[in-house]
Structure 1
Amino acid sequence: MIKNIFLCVIAAVSLSSCELTVSPTDKYDQETFWLGAKTAKAGLTGCYAALKDQYLFGNASPLWEESATPNAYNYDNRLGWNSVALGTQTPDLALFNGRWTAAYRGIGRCNALLDNIDKNQELSKPEIAQMKAEARFLRALLYQVLVTYYKDVPLILKEAELEQKDYPRTAHGEVVDFIVKELDAVAALLPVRYSQNSDIGRPTRGASLALKARLLLFEASPLLNPSHAADRWEAAAAAAKQVMDLNVYNLYPNYRQLFLPAGENSVEHIFDIQNVNEPNLGSSFDIALRQYNNAAPLKDLEDAYWMIDGKPRASSSFANSAAYDNLDPRFKMTVVYPGATFMGETVKANGSNTVFKVIQTGYTFKKYSIYDAAAVSTEQAQIGENMSEINYMVLRYADVLLMYAEAMNELGRLDAAVWTRTLGEIRKRAGFTASTAVAFPGADQDLLRTHIQYERRIEFAGEGLYYNDLRRWKLAEVAMNQVIKKFDGSVIISRSFNPARDYWWPISTTQIELNPNLKPNNPGWGE
C-alpha cells in the first residue's frame, strides 16, 4: 500500500523535493528531475508528504485542533492552539504562518509535477495521467484547507516563479469555484477503487466527491450563507449523494476498532494520511495521548454525551445514573476517564499512573491510539513523536452521511428514509438499541438540527472537525466563550472568542511583510 511507498522513496524525496520548484540538487536539476520514472514518482511522493506537515495533518495536528473547542484542553500551547482557544492569538502566531506556508509548499510541489511530468521519458501515458490526477486532487485538498481558514487566498496554478511572491489574494468564491471544478474533473479520471494493494491510500473518485461535499457544506452554512440560499444546500446535498450512490462505502461495524490498526483501509475509509511505525513516518497520537496529555478532554465533552436512550441526561429515564454509566456507547470508546482501565492500569486523575498521564483534566482520548484497556509492552509504551502507525482519516463515510443529512434538513427534506440511512445507521453502529435513539424523531427541523449537531460533535470527537463545525454554524461565539473544567468540575481557565474577528484567521505578519499585496487582512486583524 502507499504507506510503504514512503519507505521506498523517502530518501529520494528528502534529497530532491523539499524545494522542487526552485533549487536543483547535486544530482538533478529542474529539467532532468522529471525525465526518469523513479524521480518523477519521488516527486509525487513529495506531494503526499506535504500533507504530513505538523501544521496540516501531521504529528498530532488534528488532535490539537480539537483543543480550540469545548472538547479538549491544550495546556502547553502546542502550535499555538491554546492561544486560539483563549482568544489571545495575534497575527504573529506560528500556527497562522505555519499552516499557510505548509499548504503552499504542497501546492508548489503539485504545480511542479503538473507542469513537468509530461516531459517524462520512462512512464507510460496512463501512468502520467494517473499521477497528474492524484496531484490535482492533493492541490485541491490544500486549497480547500486554505479557503476554510483564511477565506481569500492567492490562487497559484503554475510552478514557482519570481512574480508569485507579489500575488494578491484571490476572491474566496473564485477559489472555491476552481476547487469544485477541479474535483469534478479529477473524479472523472480517478478510479472508484484500486485493484492493487500497493495503490491503497491513493485518492479515488469517492475522495474527490467527498472533499467537494465538505467544501460545499462549508459554503452552504451560516458563516458564508447567512441568507440561507437553498441552492447552496442543494449543491452540498447533491455532492454527498454522489458519494453515497457509488455504493462502495459503508459504516465499519465496530466503532472502536475503526480507529485501530485492525480497522485501517476499511469500507468506511475514503481518504487517509498514511502512517508507518518508523521514525518520522508516523503521527504522534500515541505519545500525545499517553504522555503529553496536551489535548485532554474536558468536562463539557463528557456532559455533552446523551444517554443510551438517545436523550440528554436531563430528559432521560437514565438521568440518575452514576457518572460515566449508561452514556452513549461512544463515550467509553472515545474517552479515557477516572476509574476506567487503560494500558493495564486503573485511571487515577491525580496523575499518579505510571505508564500514562491524565493530570491535566482527568481524561485522555483513545481514538487513533493503539492503547486501550490491555497492558502494553515496553516497546509500545515508548512510541515516540511521529512514530504512530494508525492512519488519520481525512474523509470517512460517516461524515458524508451526516453532511447529506444536514443539507437535506436545511432544505426541509430530512424524512424518515433519509434519517434511517444516515443518523439511524450511525447510531446503530455506535451501539444504540433503544427505539428512542434510532427511530426518526419527527419532521421538526430545529429538533433534527439539534440531533445532527449532536451527532457531529460526538461521532467525530477527537478527530479535529468540531472547530470548523462551530465556525460554519456561527456557534463559536457561544460555545467558545466559556470557562473550561476538569472532570470534577473545577475550573481551569476562561476562554474568549471575538465574533467580529475570530471566525477567520489572519494572514500572518510574516506573509504580509513578504508580500504587502496580501493586504487588507481579514476583519479585526489590522491592515
Structure 2
Amino acid sequence: MTKHKTIYGLILTAVLSVSACQNLETLPEDRYAQETFWRSANAAYGGLVGCYSTLISRGLYGEDVVLLEEATSPNAYNYNNVDGWSNIALGTHNASNTNAIAARWRAAYTMIGRCNALIEGIDGNVELTPDAIVKMKAEARFLRALSYHVLTIYFNDVPLITATPDLDQVTAPRKPRAQVVDFILGELDAIAAILPPAYTVATEKGRATSGAAQALKARILLFEASPLFTGTGDAARWRRAADAAKAVMDLNRYSLFPNYRALFSLANEYNAESIFDIQFQGPNVGSSFDVTLRQYNTCAPVRELIEAYRMKDGQPRSSSTVTDPGNFYSNMDPRFYQTVVYPGATFMGATVSNTRFVNTGYTFKKYSVYDAGAASTAETSLGERQSGINYMLFRYADVLLMYAEAKNELNELTPDVWNATIRAIRQRAGFTDAAALTYPAGAGKAEFTDIIRYERRIEFAGEGFYYNDIRRWKTAETVLNATIRKYDNTPIIVRKFEPARNYLWPVPQIELERNPNLTQNPGGY
C-alpha cells in the first residue's frame, strides 16, 4: 500500500456521491456512475485507496487522534480540548458539543459507504483478474468490519448498511449490536480464507491480510466477552475469545520485536510484530504525533500513569524491595524509560528540566522521531501531518495479552500460558529479575487479573488503547473519577465519570436530525 499512501488525500468522493436513483444521463459531468466507474483497473485501485484513506481521517486514526483518545484515560491530559476530546475525559460530552464523537460516526460510515460501493461495483471490472477482484473485495470487507467494530464499541446498536449508498439509507434504523457483531464475525471468517498471509512486494505492504482479519476477530470477541457487554461474564464468550487469539498465535507468522523502543520507529515498520498498520507518509499524509508530543505538548502523560509503573522486579512501588526513596525514577519497569520523557532524563541531547514540557512535565516517546540524540534540522521542523511513522492498530503483543486475559477468565492461566504471554512480553521489554518473570504459583484469578490489566495499561501506554480497556472492564467509574496531577503532584483538573451515561457515547445530534428513525443512547444526552 506504500505506493498509494501518497494519494490518500485524493479521495474519490465521486463514488460516494452517486445514488441508486440517478442514471448516467442525468449525472453532472464531474461525477461517475456506480455502474461504469469500476470498469478500469486504475479506478478499482483508486476506489480501494479511497477505502483505506478513511483510516487516516480525523474521525478515526489520523493526525493525533490516537493521542487525544489516550488523554481521555487516566494515562494522559489534553490541555486545549481539541475537537471536544477533553469533554469526554471530564464526562461533560453530549450529543452536540463534541466534534470527536460526530467525526467518529461520520468517518466510520464514510468508510462503510466506500467499501460497499467497491464490493458491489468491482465485479464489473474488465481489466482485473477474477482472483484480484475477489481479494480486493475481501480487503474492503475487512475495512467495513473494522468500521462496524468501531461503531459498536462506542455507540452499541447502529444501522447495519451493506449495500451501495442510496437515499433510503439516510433513514436506516439502528440494529441490535449482537446482530451487527454476528455479521462482521461471519465476514471475517470468510475473508480470512481469501486474504493473503502477507505481501512480499514492498509497495503492497500495509494492505489487509488474513492475520489482520483474525486479529480483528479476536479483538471483537474480547470486547463481546467483557463486562461492558456481558455483565457478570459468560464462559462461552471467553472461550471464543481465547480460541480466536490462539488462532493468530498458531499462525506462527508473528513474533515480538526484540527492541521495545525501536518497535515504534520508522526504520522498523512492518516488522514481525506488526499485524496491521495505519499508513502514514510525511510530509503530506503523515500523522501529527511529533508536533503534538514535543512542540505543543498537547497530550501529555500524567503523574497517575507514572505512579502506576511497577518496579524492575515486577512488584508495585509500595511493596518492591528495589524502590529508592531518594530517586523516584530509578529501578522502574524498563518500559517506563522507553515510553516516557521525564524531568532529569536526557532528551534530544539535553537534560529535561521540570518545565520543559509545560502541561504535565512529561511527554511520550512512541511514534516520535525525537529521542535521546541531538535533534536534526528535519526533526525540529516537523509540523502537523508530517510525521511518517505508521501506527500499529494491531500488534502481536496485543494478541498475547488478549489470550492471557481470556484464559485467566476461564481459570486456565497456566505456567505455559504465562510463559507464552506475560513472561515473553516482559522479557522483550528488558525485565531480567526472576521475580518479574517467574510464574506466580500462588496467585489466584484476581491477582492475575491485576497483572494482566497492568500489562495492558503499560505495554500500550501512549497508544490509545486504555480508554476502551477501562470501559469494557467497567472500571472507568472508579479510575476516571479522580484528580489528575503534574510531575510534582500539582493538581491539574478533576475528572468525572457517570456510569449511567458515560460508558457509551451519544449518537451525534446532527445524525438524529438527519435520520428520524435513529434513537438516542440512555443517559440524558
1:13 aligns with one of 1, 6, 11:
11
DSSP 3-state at the match of 1:428 = helix
Q: CA deviation at 1:451?
A: 0.5
Q: CA deviation at 1:324?
A: 1.0
Q: C-alpha distance in 1, partners of 2:54/2:371?
A: 30
Match of 1:404 in 2: 403
- Alpha carbons 1:297, 1:335 under 8 Å: kept: yes
Match of 1:190 in 2: 195
Match of 1:354 in 2: none
**Residue identity matched to 1:484:** I
Q: C-alpha distance in 2, partners of 1:33/1:384?
A: 36
Structure-1-length-normalised TM-score: 0.96
Question: Which range moved further: 256-265 or 12-21?
Answer: 12-21
Q: CA deviation at 1:55?
A: 1.6
Offset from partner CA, 1:296-335 (integer Å, 9 cap, x none): 1000000000000000011100123511110000001000
DSSP 3-state at the match of 2:207 = coil
- Alpha carbons 2:264, 2:367 under 8 Å: kept: yes
Match of 1:475 in 2: 475
Asked if 1:212 corresponds to 2:217, the answer is: yes
Q: C-alpha distance in 2, partners of 1:232/1:392?
A: 29
1:246 aligns with one of 251, 260, 276:
251
**Residue identity matched to 1:286:** D
- Alpha carbons 2:2, 2:204 under 8 Å: kept: no
Q: C-alpha distance in 1, partners of 2:54/2:29?
A: 19
Match of 1:428 in 2: 427
Offset from partner CA, 1:172-194 (integer Å, 9 cap, x none): 10001011111111101111122
Match of 1:438 in 2: 437
Asked if 1:86 corresponds to 2:84, the answer is: no
Match of 1:129 in 2: 134
- Alpha carbons 1:17, 1:46 under 8 Å: kept: no
Q: C-alpha distance in 2, partners of 1:158/1:97?
A: 22
Q: C-alpha distance in 1, partners of 2:170/2:13?
A: 25
Q: C-alpha distance in 2, partners of 1:266/1:98?
A: 31
Match of 2:23 in 1: none
Match of 1:510 in 2: 510
Match of 1:355 in 2: none
Matches within 5 A, 1:314-325: 314-321=318-325, 322-325=327-330
Q: CA deviation at 1:6?
A: 2.4
Q: C-alpha distance in 1, partners of 2:29/2:360?
A: 49
Percent of residue pairs bearing the same amino acid type: 53
Q: CA deviation at 1:135?
A: 0.4
Match of 1:200 in 2: 205
- Alpha carbons 1:150, 1:506 under 8 Å: kept: yes
Asked if 1:178 corresponds to 2:183, the answer is: yes
Q: C-alpha distance in 2, partners of 1:414/1:306?
A: 21
DSSP 3-state at the match of 1:32 = helix
Q: Cα RMSD between the aligned structures? A: 1.4
Q: CA deviation at 1:294?
A: 1.3
Q: C-alpha distance in 2, partners of 1:172/1:33?
A: 33
DSSP 3-state at the match of 1:379 = helix
Question: Which range moved further: 392-401 or 16-25?
Answer: 16-25
Q: C-alpha distance in 2, partners of 1:277/1:12?
A: 15
Q: CA deviation at 1:345?
A: 2.3
Q: CA deviation at 1:376?
A: 1.5
Q: C-alpha distance in 2, partners of 1:27/1:510?
A: 26
Offset from partner CA, 1:429-461 (integer Å, 9 cap, x none): 000001110111124111111100000000000
**Residue identity matched to 2:179:** E
Matches within 5 A, 1:254-403: 254-279=259-284, 281-321=285-325, 322-351=327-356, 358-403=357-402
Q: C-alpha distance in 1, partners of 2:171/2:438?
A: 56
Offset from partner CA, 1:34-63 (integer Å, 9 cap, x none): 111111110000000011111201111111
Q: CA deviation at 1:161?
A: 1.1
Matches within 5 A, 1:142-181: 142-181=147-186
**Residue identity matched to 2:11:** V
Q: C-alpha distance in 1, partners of 2:488/2:344?
A: 13
- Alpha carbons 2:274, 2:392 under 8 Å: kept: yes
**Residue identity matched to 1:404:** Y
Q: C-alpha distance in 1, partners of 2:418/2:222?
A: 18
Structure-2-length-normalised TM-score: 0.96
Q: C-alpha distance in 1, partners of 2:129/2:369?
A: 40
Offset from partner CA, 1:462-518 (integer Å, 9 cap, x none): 000000000000100000000000000000110000001100001011111111211
Q: CA deviation at 1:15?
A: 6.7
Q: C-alpha distance in 2, partners of 1:133/1:302?
A: 42
Q: C-alpha distance in 2, partners of 1:163/1:522?
A: 23
Offset from partner CA, 1:117-144 (integer Å, 9 cap, x none): 0001111111111100100000000111
- Alpha carbons 2:323, 2:330 under 8 Å: kept: no
Q: C-alpha distance in 2, partners of 1:36/1:28?
A: 13
Q: C-alpha distance in 2, partners of 1:342/1:14?
A: 42
1:233 aligns with one of 217, 224, 238:
238
Offset from partner CA, 1:327-386 (integer Å, 9 cap, x none): 0000010001011111222212224xxxxxx10000000101011011122222111111
Which ranges in structure 2 are unaligned for 5 or more consecutive residues? 21-26
**Residue identity matched to 1:402:** L
Q: C-alpha distance in 1, partners of 2:456/2:479?
A: 15
**Residue identity matched to 2:424:** E
Q: C-alpha distance in 1, partners of 2:409/2:9?
A: 49
Question: Which range moved further: 197-206 or 293-302?
Answer: 197-206
Q: C-alpha distance in 2, partners of 1:495/1:506?
A: 19
Question: Which range moved further: 182-191 or 394-403?
Answer: 182-191
Q: CA deviation at 1:18?
A: 6.3
Q: CA deviation at 1:248?
A: 0.4
Which ranges in structure 1 are unaligned for 5 or more consecutive residues? 352-357
